[in-house]
Amino acid sequence: MNDSQIYSNDKIDLEKILKLSEQIQTENEELKDQNSSLLSQISILKDKLQNSTDREVKLNEKIAKMSESDKIEQENKRLKEINESLKREKMYAKQEAETRVSSVKREYEAKGRELDRRIGEAAKQSASLKSERQSISEDIEQRATAKYLDQKKELDRKFKAQTASYDSFLLGLLLYGVLTTVFTAVRSEAFVSDFKTFFMVIWQFIVNAFQLLLKGGQWASQLGDKIPQPVVATIVHYLLLIVFVGGIAIGVGFLIFLGASKVFEFYTEDYADTMSLAVFLISLAVSVYFAEPIRAVIPINLLLLLILVHIVYVLIRWYVKGCMRSRGYY
């Protein structure tokens, strides 16, 4: 009995324990639910607290901004006061500057009028001085010109007198030399002989040339003799003779004249000077005074030798002048 009671008692205790355990578990779950609810509420409160914190920060920022705005407003007010003060100073300075500018303008206009007056007076004085200077310059120029012309005339007169005396003296010496040379040449048998021979040879050459030309004309005129009519044949004969002889004579004469004119122009352009005259006279004197020794060394006509010497002299001068011209001396 006791065991069964004990068992039943144990069973009852066990059931109580189970019930109690279930109650505890149920309470635990309720507590968990409450805890989760509390956690959610805590989270909500945290969010609210955060929101309130953000609002507080924003409010603080607004308060700071408002305080900064007050400072800015105060600074703006101070700056406005300073700006107004500067505007007043600027206005005063502008008024003072305008006053000074107007004063300076009046002074400048007065000085400008004075300067214009002085410039006008200076221009008048300058015109007067210029006219006076021009008059003095013209007077000086006239006097200088007159003095120059007088001196020039005097110098020209002296120069012409000296030149005339020099030319007379030179001409006297030249005539003396020429006459002495001519007289000596006349007395020199060799020179006189060569002189006659030179012109006789030239005359003989002309005569022989004319005879040769005449023979040629006669040969050409024989063509007219072949005409049957005697009168016409005679006319044609002499006509051919005249045309042949006259044509060739005129052509040769024209060529000789043309060549002589070219030689004369060439000689007179560059070589007809005192040096050429001196060379000719010296060559003539040497040919006259040393005629016999020259003939003994060179068997040549003295007059022809004189001409050849002058030709060689001209050729030498022509060559020297060409060399100097090529090197830039002319």
Q: Return d(Cα 223, Cα 227) in angstroms, integer.
A: 8
Q: Which of 118, 284, 133, 270 is nearest to 194 (CA)?
A: 284
Identify the residue with better confidence: 1 or 286.
286
pLDDT at position 255: 92
pLDDT at residue 34 is higher than 70: no
User: Which two tokens mark 156?
Assistant: 């020209």
Q: What is the pLDDT averaged over residues 191-209?
A: 86
Q: What is the pLDDT averaged over residues 215-239?
A: 75
Report the range out of 21-25, 55-59, 109-113, 140-144 with the highest average pLDDT: 140-144
Q: What is the DSSP string of 148-169?
A: HHHHHHHHHHHHHHHHHHHHHH
Distances in Å between the Cα of 59 and the Cα atoms of 64, 70, 72 are: 8, 16, 19
Q: What is the pLDDT averaged over residues 319-327?
A: 83
Helix then strand count (H, E) for the chain reads: 6, 0
pLDDT at position 171: 74
Q: What is the pLDDT averaged over residues 204-225?
A: 81
Question: Range with the lowest mean pLDDT among 69-73, 101-105, 158-162, 318-322?
Answer: 69-73
Q: Return d(Cα 291, Cα 285) in angstroms, integer.
A: 9
**pLDDT-above-90 percentage for the chain:** 2
**pLDDT-above-70 percentage for the chain:** 74
pTM of the model: 0.44
pLDDT at residue 105 is higher than 80: no
Return the domain boundaries, the chain.
164-326
pLDDT at position 6: 46
pLDDT at position 7: 45
> Maximum CA pair distance of the chain?
226
* The residue to which tokens 């060394």 are assigned: 297
pLDDT at residue 1 is higher than 50: no
pLDDT at residue 236 is higher than 70: yes
pLDDT at position 258: 92
pLDDT at residue 20 is higher than 60: no
Residues 6+ apart with CB under 8 A from 317: 270, 271
Q: What is the pLDDT averaged over residues 188-192?
A: 76
Question: Range with the lowest mean pLDDT among 30-44, 96-110, 122-136?
Answer: 30-44
pLDDT at residue 70 is higher than 70: no
Q: Return d(Cα 81, Cα 87) in angstroms, integer.
A: 10
User: 256-311 pLDDT, tens per residue?
Assistant: 899 989 888 888 888 878 788 888 888 888 888 787 888 788 888 888 888 898 89
User: 40-58 pLDDT, tens per residue?
Assistant: 665 665 565 565 556 555 6
Q: Which of 236, 203, 204, 207 is nearest to 220 (CA)?
A: 236
pLDDT at position 215: 84
pLDDT at position 2: 47
pLDDT at residue 59 is higher than 60: no
Q: What is the pLDDT averaged over residues 132-156?
A: 84
Residues 6+ apart with CB under 8 A from 184: 288, 289
Q: What is the pLDDT averaged over residues 26-38?
A: 58
pLDDT confidence bin for 217, thresholds 50/70/90: confident
Identify the residue with better confidence: 62 or 151.
151
Residues 6+ apart with CB under 8 A from 45: none
Query: Other C-beta atoms within 10 Å of 180: how many?
Result: 13
